[in-house]
Structure 1
């Protein structure tokens, strides 16, 4: 029987972490909301396509870089895994602190009316700090150094882009309604606590796999 392209336990943990990160408000999801409000649902969905095209570029670059790293320094992934877990835990702590911050207000994204939503979406995601940290700190711990990297990255990409498409589209289509809910302290606090606890759990799961 042929070996699976990914470690099932690592992949299932990745799916949980990715689901949390996909629904967490960030530049991409805020851009989807803002585009939905300013340009309408159709343009917002086009922007979602642009953002996920940029994500695909990030995955291609990660596949090349991680593949070279695995071959040259297989032992490095233990250290990277610990750093990735610490980063996810930090995100959880940040979400919990933000949930109880009296000064915390949702960020805003400015959408330019005269530009293509596809280009804007691609630009937002290719320079998204959340995406950069995801590919440099969160993704590497889930790579099995004993398996070829390319098939693993392909399955990671399918899961990540699929979840991002669903999440971004939901943000885009909800538009003003979701934006108003996030302005409500009680809703924002509950959402922040939920996300924070999930991220802390995900960090524990990453460490448990070492």
Structure 2
């Protein structure tokens, strides 16, 4: 669990820096707000496409125990995390809202807590779910379900 702590502490710190920087940029260049929102929607659609085309994982490696540093490195070196963070602020940080710092802190705290709850749930039930989806057809079915949910989210992001 120390890897989870490293990941979520890093998520909070990176997201606060990104959010405060994003708030400053959208005040100067309000047009970038819409551009990042559209790019975020397209990115989620691309993830949907990748998920729908993927099959079952075929790894035979034994898992290793990760530590706090591994969690930090996972977030800091993950370009997907930065794009998702930018898309999140484009979606929820409103130019006309009052105190941008308070709004940034609220958004990033909800984001980090959501990640923590999601990751914890996945850790608890992930192994059990993996046994259900060991066959190629079941893995495809799971990917179709998750991909469909991502597509709905991408459309919502685009039109909201």
TM category (shorter chain) comes to 0.7 to 0.9
Deviation by residue 1:15-41 (Cα, 9 ceiling, x = unmatched): xxxxxxxxxxxxxxxxxxxxxxxxxxx
Shift of 1:153: 2.1
Give the corresponding residue for 1:62: 18
Q: What are the residue-to-residue correspondences of 1:90-105 with 2, within 5 Å?
A: 90-98=46-54, 101=55, 104-105=56-57
CA change 1:125–1:188 in 2 (3 A) is: same
The Cα RMSD (Å) is 2.6
Give the corresponding residue for 1:46: 2
Q: Structure 2: how far apart are the matches of 1:110 and 1:66?
A: 40
CA change 1:49–1:110 in 2 (3 A) is: farther
Asked whether 1:122 is paired with 2:72, we answer yes
Check conservation: 2:41, 2:155, Cα contact below 8 A.
yes
Shift of 1:176: 4.5
Shift of 1:64: 2.2
Q: TM-score normalized by structure 1?
A: 0.64
Q: 122-131 or 166-175: which moved more?
A: 166-175
Q: How many residues align?
A: 159
Q: Structure 2: how far apart are the matches of 1:118 and 1:97?
A: 33
Asked whether 1:143 is paired with 2:93, we answer yes
Q: Which runs of 5+ in 2 are unaligned?
A: none
Give the corresponding residue for 2:34: 78
Shift of 1:129: 2.9
Shift of 1:186: 3.4
Give the corresponding residue for 1:190: 141
Q: Structure 2: how far apart are the matches of 1:145 and 1:109?
A: 48
Check conservation: 1:85, 1:138, Cα contact below 8 A.
no
Q: Structure 1: how far apart are the matches of 2:23 and 2:94?
A: 11
Q: Which runs of 4+ in 1 moved over 3 A?
A: 106-113, 136-139, 173-184
Check conservation: 1:62, 1:135, Cα contact below 8 A.
yes
Check conservation: 2:22, 2:89, Cα contact below 8 A.
no
Q: What are the residue-to-residue correspondences of 1:165-204 with 2, within 5 Å?
A: 165-174=116-125, 176-204=127-155
Q: Which runs of 5+ in 1 are unaligned?
A: 1-44
